[in-house]
Amino acid sequence: MKVLVPVKRVVDYNVKVRVKSDGTGVETANVKMSMNPFDEISVEEALKLREAGAATEVIAVSCGPTACQETLRTALAMGADRAILVETDAELQPLAVAKLLKAVVDKEAPGLCIVGKQAIDDDCNQTGQMLSALLGWSQGTSAYKVTVEGDKLNVVREVDGGLETVVLKMPAVITSDLRLNQPRYVTLPNIMKAKKKPLEILKPDALGVDVAPRLVTLKVEEPPKRKGGVKVPDVQTLVLKLKTEAKVIE
Ligand code: AMP
């Protein structure tokens, strides 16, 4: 079974995101970019399935500009067998990505797609669900634990207040949650090996996908600056301030 793992290039999670002065988006020029953390978890899970003999090949896919090759090389250095870049400079929204991924699935025929729960830049949490709908495949979102049993997949999901187990018939799409696993570190020898692994480049037109955005971003703005706090000498003063100033209690 082939496993397809979409990996998105996003602003590194350690970077303090700055909004562009014209309010059209966030600054990405001269900013450290990395693989979306949930996608690292997906790559790790796919590698574990291959190591356990449940998968035969792990294919990493990224959609976006040429620079996404760097993200794909990271996936290859982690252990993915080969990579596909769907190259475009267009702004990609989740529906467009899901359509591109469906086209890659049609070409590669994997038995499983492990998508990140959400991209930390747009926080959409949509692509995996849209992909599963477009393919007509079963889906297990926010996966906490995954086990393969023949043509079935047991997915333990993180839900409010606990865990839920769903059994999926494969082929399926799962989206990985934070506690699914701890992604492995990339070692220098593996970075060198990754340079020689195959990386195919496809174009949206060749896949027959129209990636034109369907949504318009009206404005992006920073959250209001937090006002400085005050220290109160005792509980009575605190209660008084909560009543008279903050007006959050009566
Ligand atoms: P989102 O729905 O935007 O929050 O993204 C959820 C997941 O979809 C990500 O964690 C990735 O696995 C996948 N994804 C989104 N955008 C891309 C992209 N441009 N290239 C590859 N995978 C993507």
Q: What is the pLDDT of residues 110-142, one digit of tens each?
A: 999 999 999 999 899 999 999 999 999 999 999
Q: Which amino acid is at 133?
A: A
Q: What is the pLDDT of residues 31-49, one digit of tens each?
A: 999 999 999 999 999 999 9
How far apart CA 85 and CA 63 sit, in angstroms, is 6
pLDDT surpassing 90 at residue 67: yes
Looking at the whole model, is its pTM more than 0.85? yes
Domains (ranges, CATH) in the chain? 2-225 (3.40.50.620)
Q: What is the DSSP string of 180-244?
A: S--PPPPPHHHHHHHTTS-EEEE-HHHHT-----SS------PPPPPPPP---SSHHHHHHHHHH
Relative to the CA of 123, which ligand 1 atom is closest? Answer: 4
Relative to the CA of 63, which ligand 1 atom is closest? Answer: 20
Q: Are strands 57-64 and 82-87 parallel, antiparallel or unpaired?
A: parallel
Q: What is the pLDDT of residues 90-114, one digit of tens each?
A: 999 999 999 999 999 999 999 999 9
pLDDT surpassing 90 at residue 222: no
Ligand 1 pocket residue status of 125, Cβ below 6 Å:
yes
**Tokens 């496809």 belong to residue:** 202
> pLDDT-based confidence at 87, cuts 50/70/90?
very high
Ligand 1 pocket residue status of 118, Cβ below 6 Å:
yes
Q: How far is the CA of 45 from the centre of ligand 1 (A)?
A: 16
Residue nearest to atom 11 of ligand 1 (CA): 116
Residues in Cβ contact with 200 at an 8 Å cutoff, skipping those fewer than 6 apart: 82, 83, 84, 85
Q: How far is the CA of 231 from the centre of ligand 1 (A)?
A: 44
